[in-house]
Amino acid sequence: MTATASKTETKTMTMVAAINDALDLALAADDAVHIFGEDVGVMGGVFRATDGLQAKYGVDRVFDTPLAEAAIVGMGIGMGLAGLKPVAEIQFAGFLYPALDQVLSHLGRYRHRTRSRYHLPMVVRAPYGGGVHTPEQHADSPEAILAHTPGIKVVIPSTPADAKGLLLSAINDPDPVFFFEAIKLYRSVKEDVPVGDYRIPLGQARVVTEGDDVTVICYGGMVEVAQKAAAAAQSAGIGVEVIDLRTLVPLDTDTILASVQKTGRAVVVTEAPRTGGFHSEISAVIAEEAIEFLRAPIVRVTGFDAPYPPFTAVEDVYRPNAVRVAKAIKSVMGY
């Protein structure tokens, strides 16, 4: 962490407030930063992440667009080409799909297709994930699609302080960054967040809890789930090391491998569908680089290969909870 602000000066914030704070600082620091999307202006976003910013910076810097995700991303690409720093909001990650052509065909490859004559310092923010009983299509976790797209960085914070420091890094990164915000975490957690501009570098995982017996690798909305499972395991005498990746691209394989080499056991947790998910990439990295250290097969705790269920009564069946993660920890311990 490179702190330009005093480390002692902090303010207690929710994650959505920390994101708003980061956007505010970014707009104040650089005229090139522009925020746009559906409802981000007058309304301040459906989750209020952009609350008050249009009033403070004007309708040219923070503006509502027509309702069309492909054009939001596509227009942002043009703005980035012309030297602005576009920060687009896609209202829910599950609404990103109309814009995927722009993301896959252009956003990820613009630097490459122009041999760095042009680059796109664009951030796309999107609330993602389940756990808050949203309507159909509002709880998807499409991060693996982005991580699989060359040229795109993928950031998924799990705490307010991380969200602010990572978002400021993302906005100031010369390359396109997808910034997924777990809806479940927007207001459920408060913590002390440093005041002023500070950055958390992309590509550095965070060791949440240390332990010698099992490594649990997760990110975003699954970190608090893993922490609960770890606490339960801890009380049964099992030492769990929880690693919050924070960024999927670049991926901090060093932290993952160092931990697995120590514990010899790995559980990977996401709430995304199982087949082809980013959990599979993490599992493959461990299998390729550290299989000789493993004392048990790698276990993935994930969603299922079905659309995320919009049925409140059974949402917990799909979305991993602490019980499922604890069972996985138990299974690798008992192998």
**Closest to 126 in 3D by CA, of 77, 186, 172, 174:** 186
Pick the stretch among 129-137, 147-155, 178-186, 233-241 that binds another protein (CB under 8 A): 147-155
End-to-end CA distance of the chain: 38
Please give the torsion angle defined by the CA atoms of residues 99, 109, 142 and 82, in that order, rounded to the nearest 10 degrees: -50
Which one of 52, 78, 276, 297 is in contact with another protein (CB under 8 A)? 78
- Contact letters for another protein, residues 270-309 (x by CB under 8 A): ----------------------------------------
Q: Which of residues 83-102 bind another protein (CB under 8 A)?
A: 83-84, 86, 98, 101-102
Which one of 114, 275, 284, 312 is in contact with another protein (CB under 8 A)? 114
Which one of 74, 131, 277, 309 is in contact with another protein (CB under 8 A)? 74
SS3 286: helix
Query: Is 174 one of the binding residues for another protein (CB under 8 A)?
Result: yes
Distances (CA, A) of 271 to 6, 21, 186, 290, 321: 36, 27, 17, 25, 9
What ranges make up the beta strands (E) of 210-325?
214-218, 240-244, 247-249, 266-269, 299-301
Query: Is 206 one of the binding residues for another protein (CB under 8 A)?
Result: no
Residue closer to another protein (CB basis): 67 or 323 = 67
Q: How far is the CB of 293 from another protein (least distance, A)?
A: 19
Pick the stretch among 47-55, 168-176, 205-213, 304-312 that binds another protein (CB under 8 A): 168-176
133 is catalytic: no
With tokens 């079905």, the residue in question is 306
Q: Which of residues 3-42 bind another protein (CB under 8 A)?
A: 34
Is the CB of residue 302 less than 8 Å from the CB of residue 320?
Answer: yes
- Contact letters for another protein, residues 239-258 (x by CB under 8 A): ----------xxx-xx----
- CB atoms under 10 Å from CB of 328, counted, come to 23
Which one of 21, 38, 175, 271 is in contact with another protein (CB under 8 A)? 175
Which distant-in-sequence residues (6+ apart) come within 8 Å of 106 by Cβ? 74, 77
Is the CB of residue 92 less than 8 Å from the CB of residue 138?
Answer: yes
Instruction: Tell me the Cα Rg of the chain.
Output: 19
Residue closer to another protein (CB basis): 28 or 82 = 82
- Structure tokens, 16: 């959505």
Q: How far is the CB of 30 from another protein (least distance, A)?
A: 13
Is the CB of residue 34 less than 8 Å from the CB of residue 86?
Answer: yes
Pick the stretch among 105-113, 219-227, 266-274, 316-324 that binds another protein (CB under 8 A): 105-113
Which residues are tagged catalytic?
A: 138
- Which residues make up the interface to another protein (CB under 8 A)? 34, 60, 63, 65-66, 68, 70-71, 73-84, 86, 98, 101-102, 105-106, 111-119, 150-151, 153, 173-175, 203, 249-251, 253-254
